[in-house]
Structure 1
């Protein structure tokens, strides 16, 4: 592979991953009705509004879901996969990219939750109870997933193991569902199931 292709791949992975992360976080923020006055929320809104506002005129929301954000993430994922295959020198038909993109977005969403859990667990050890806009936002995104697990857990005297249970569950889902699905859909090894992490 030429140095220009390597630089191109680096840029596609970095910029595509950042764009996908921003769009998926915007979707998740609206899904959990997070605090939109948080400075990070404001950044995500301002970064995505130029594309999402016109897109919402065409694609309305449904049942509290921001469908326009999902469609935008899907299109960006297809473009990223297309650029990766082009830079790698493979001529993969568009229909394969269209099929692989939802799996990539699913894995990205799982990684957001996994790394968010890890960040909150580490932050709870280092700086418990501290006010940080990023930590508050991560907790707002994670709470709907952690709350049901926390309710089922026995009382351990103030020790909350529910994030560990959720993290382990995410890893099991990746092993039991994502891996076999990637094999079934013939996703080649050079196509990352997630971009940016």
Structure 2
């Protein structure tokens, strides 16, 4: 029971921090200026980790590599706390599990953004956050929109993107069956 409680707390905190760090990286990668409330939340929650990491890993090519490294370190720490403390594993397996969790967080983040964009398009396409979310998902959906025609004025590219991300998740999670 203690293990499940610790796992719940660690995965919740690590997941939230990882989402913020990955969002920070993605916003800079796609050159999207966030609304003030999103920017304030993102930077306040992640500056304590990103600023020291920037001394080690500076931004190169216009990318915030410190945010990406921070998310990877959070994944490593969460794997160490949730598995190694209760079931000591070899270091190589810990690193592989951390990399797997990191990639899963990336895919889940993309899926979450696509779902939020779809909800905005159905419920309130003129919501204040709708253009921001649309700009974040555009690099993912643009290649699919070039290939998929509108069917009855309905864009199926988000559905196809979600299916492709699910397939990728299953393939990657299949690397370590039973451990993901």
Partner-residue secondary structure (3-state), 2:121: helix
Q: Deviations along 1:84-130, whole A, 9 cap, x unmatched? A: 0145x201133321222222111111111112212221222222x22
Aligned to 1:169, what secondary structure does the other structure show? helix
Are 1:122 and 2:119 matched, yes or no? Answer: yes
CA distance in 1, matches of 2:128, 2:157: 22
Q: Tell me the number of residue pairs that the alignment of Structure 1 and Structure 2 aligns.
A: 180
1:179 to 159, 173, 176: 173
The runs of 4+ residues in structure 1 deviating greater than 4 Å are none
Query: 1:28-66, CA deviations, whole angstroms, 9 ceiling, x for partnerless residues?
Result: 111111114432122102221222122112211222222
For residues 64-94 of structure 1, give each alpha carbon's deviation from its aligned partner in whole angstroms, at most 9, with x where no partner exists. 222111211111111100110145x201133
* Aligned twin of 1:131: 127
Indicate whether 1:91 and 2:88 are aligned.
yes
Aligned to 1:61: 59
| CA gap 1:46/1:146 in 2 versus in 1, 3 angstroms | same
Q: Which runs of 5+ in 1 are unaligned?
A: none
Distance in 2 (CA, whole Å) between partners of 1:32 and 1:55 is: 21
**Residue in 1 that maps onto 2:154:** 159
The corresponding residue for 1:5 is 3
Q: Greater relative contact order (Cα 8 A, min sep 6): structure 1 or 2? A: 1
Match of 2:145 in 1: 150
Q: 1:101 aligns with which of 98, 103, 110?
A: 98
CA distance in structure 1 between the aligned counterparts of 2:28 and 2:69, rounded to whole angstroms: 15
Tell me what 1:111 maps to. Answer: 108
TM-score, structure 1 as length reference? 0.82
Root mean square deviation of aligned Cα = 1.9
State the partner residue of 1:50: 48
